[in-house]
Structure 1
Amino acid sequence: MTKTHPRHTLHPQLAERIRKVPGKPAEDLTARDFDPLTEPYGPHEDWELAIDDREVPGPETPIPVRVYRPAEPASSPRPCLVWMHGGAWVGGDLDMPEAHETARGVAGRADAVVVSVDYRLCSAEVRFPAPHDDVLAAYRWVRDHAADLGIDPARIAVGGASAGGNLAAGAALRLRDEGETPWQALLIYPLVHAPLPEPSDELAAALAKLPPPFRLPTEYLDQVFDPYLGDVPIEAAPPYAFPGLAKDLSGFPPTYIDNDEFDYLRSSGELFTDQLRSAGVDVEQALSTGALHGHLNLVGLDTAHATLDRMADRLRKR
């Protein structure tokens, strides 16, 4: 695979929007301050899909899922992606672009079925392994209902973005251990290590070019883990919570990892790529140049479309 050499230049559309965000430190900003960044960059894509909201059995409560299927009948069972949105384990839902637009875009491009999972979000009452257990239950429901969903049970992938990528990777690791290895894993800007690995010199140089609102203090990054782990210290986190801590990754499913160029979490995605390769896993890595963390939430951005193209290509051709 040809190595991508970053230029450390923000995507021009992103750079234009970033100039509209108040130039305050990240800890002083509110979600409303970032509204200019998340407004659509282009029209929503038009796909002929049947979209169905369901509830599937969960370990404690029913799990809402949304099933996306191409409207045209298929001559043979389709591949499937079980998909998890991000949101730092505490936010996000089936309607956010990273869930809805990603599922629509992949299903349409790949002529595949996508099942988007509304796992339990962490709170004072909900901690790991609750969301992890929900993902496992949803994956197994999809596999057990493959015929009803029109999918090939041998071609069910797991995938997710950011915290959803963490959950997808953790589920893949546990399924491997229980003799149910998924077909493949699609991990988009995932966070799979705790603490976050130190950035390479190249990544540090990229992060240094970010405007002040996007420079995250170390204490903020450390706090991201608290709602997920609760009272469990980071050094005691189990591998299913952070798969990059696993001592043995051999037998992990073939994996696609897509990292953002200007993203603190890129250090985790890059290290996980190296770990998988060292374990003999078939892994493909892509770098979304010019992009900030979470680019699948930016509707109409060409960088998001390119990631969806690569994800769909994995489902079509693998």
Structure 2
Amino acid sequence: MKRALAGALAGLVGWWAVGTTRALRRVPPELRTPRLLVSSAWMPLAVLPRLRAGMRQDTPVPPGVAVTERDADGVPVLLYEGGSRPVPSGALLWIHGGGHLVGHPGMDHALAGRIAAETGVLVVSVDYRLAPEDPFPADLDDCSGALRWLQDHADDLGVDPARIAVGGASAGGGLAAATVNRAHDEGRPVAFALLEYPMLDDRTALARVPGGRGRFVWNARMNRRAWTAYVGSPAGAPGVPEGAAPARRRDLAGLPPTWIGVGDQDLFHDEDVSYAGRLRAAGVPVELHVEPGMYHGADALVPDAPSVQAFRGRMVAAVRAAVGEAGQ
């Protein structure tokens, strides 16, 4: 019996090693790191508090960018402001990632600060509640509340209310899409959406992913567990609301111009490309960028890689053109 179990385990390890080796060949050398071989897919949700504590490291704030804490009608936010911000300026409500389960605004200090410094906009980053302690719609309520605060206090903040954008990464990208959708439905539309490899569709958790995508950082098992913890029912179930999974929204007409960026090795590649296509079909201007060889979260693991810097540069340029100094 022990010999049979050992043989089965060896076979499983061998299968995993072969699949991982094949997947690594599709990743450019500059994006490879030993951390790609570490997976938290089997980590129980009970250890989430410890995981969150271990992820509290902040990325560096760029020189010349001031960061202040504010209360957005009960929602904690961070404001990033470059020294040369014109008044009034555009603004970007930024929503961090973390699968709805982990993450905090400080993890995006570098990106939020870069956007503020290079576009001349005010960046407002939301410290929203996390699942499973606070499942849907708690985080969406927080993000929507922060957006309403930004819109209502635009004059006080030195912001042009007609040049407010919403953006986010991963789960934050999905929340950004959902926040934009809710704002549209409430008659408080925004000017632009910036979606970095957004987590849009719970049904991906049940789909067969072609081409070996989603092998690194965020895989199908993690996706299923995160969606289930977030919505409180199995991922892919018929009752998952479109507010939680924006890809389920049927009517996309009238939404603001949108930028979507994703790597071709990302688990979310297909759902993001599909969403971009549906937006276009609904008459929404869309810029879609697919980064060759990039896996989910590569910009966090290898932030100095040239392709990652260029990818983030595209994001900065999109914000500048839509609501920044170049968009005036």
TM-score > 0.5 by shorter chain: yes
| 1:9 equivalenced with 2:26 (yes/no) | yes
Aligned mate of 2:77, from 60, 65, 70: 65
2:194 equivalent in structure 1:
186
Instruction: Give how far 1:166 is off.
Output: 0.8
What RMSD over aligned residues (CA atoms) do the two structures have, in Å? 3.0
Equivalent position amino acid for 2:211 in 1? A
2:65 equivalent in structure 1:
49
Whole-angstrom CA distance in 1 between matches of 2:113 and 2:75: 20
Aligned mate of 2:262, from 240, 259, 262: 259
2:99 equivalent in structure 1:
88
Matches within 5 A, 1:1-318: 9-15=26-32, 17-18=33-34, 22=37, 27=42, 46-57=62-73, 62-72=74-84, 74=86, 76-96=87-107, 99-124=108-133, 126-196=134-204, 204-207=210-213, 210=215, 216=219, 218-231=220-233, 234-298=237-301, 299-318=303-322
Maintained 8 Å contact 1:161/1:187: yes
Whole-angstrom CA distance in 2 between matches of 1:117 and 1:198: 30
TM-score, length-scaled by structure 2 = 0.78
Structure 1 residues 181-227: Cα deviation after superposition (integer angstroms, max 9, x where no partner):
11010000011112118879xx722529x5xx6683x4443222112
Whole-angstrom CA distance in 2 between matches of 1:121 and 1:24: 21
Maintained 8 Å contact 1:106/1:309: no
Maintained 8 Å contact 1:47/1:105: no
Instruction: Give how far 1:303 is off.
Output: 3.1
Whole-angstrom CA distance in 1 between matches of 2:102 and 2:40: 22
Cα–Cα, structure 1 residues 214 and 160, in superposed 2: closer, same or farther, change >3 Å?
closer
Show structure 1 runs of 4+ deviating over 4 A: 20-26, 28-32, 197-200
Maintained 8 Å contact 2:217/2:297: no
Whole-angstrom CA distance in 1 between matches of 2:184 and 2:307: 32
Maintained 8 Å contact 1:44/1:300: no
Question: What is the number of residues matched between the two proteins?
Answer: 288
Structure 1 residues 111-144: Cα deviation after superposition (integer angstroms, max 9, x where no partner):
21111101111124x1111100100000111111
Greater share of helix: 2
Give the gaps of 5 or more residues in structure 1. 1-7, 33-38
Whole-angstrom CA distance in 2 between matches of 1:246 and 1:261: 24
Whole-angstrom CA distance in 2 between matches of 1:308 and 1:23: 25
Whole-angstrom CA distance in 1 between matches of 2:128 and 2:101: 10
Comparing 103-112 with 23-32, greater Cα deviation is found at 23-32
Whole-angstrom CA distance in 2 between matches of 1:270 and 1:199: 15
Instruction: Give how far 1:46 is off.
Output: 3.6
Give the gaps of 5 or more residues in structure 2. 1-24, 51-56, 323-328
1:3 equivalent in structure 2:
none
TM-score, length-scaled by structure 1 = 0.81
**SS state of the match for residue 294, structure 2?**
strand
**SS state of the match for residue 134, structure 1?**
helix
Greater RCO between the two (CA within 8 Å, min separation 6)?
1
Cα–Cα, structure 1 residues 91 and 215, in superposed 2: closer, same or farther, change >3 Å?
closer
Maintained 8 Å contact 1:159/1:187: yes
Equivalent position amino acid for 1:27 in 2? W
**SS state of the match for residue 292, structure 2?**
strand
Whole-angstrom CA distance in 2 between matches of 1:157 and 1:65: 16
Maintained 8 Å contact 2:83/2:117: no
Whole-angstrom CA distance in 2 between matches of 1:207 and 1:128: 27
Cα–Cα, structure 1 residues 105 and 238, in superposed 2: closer, same or farther, change >3 Å?
same
Cα–Cα, structure 1 residues 88 and 26, in superposed 2: closer, same or farther, change >3 Å?
closer
Cα–Cα, structure 1 residues 275 and 115, in superposed 2: closer, same or farther, change >3 Å?
same
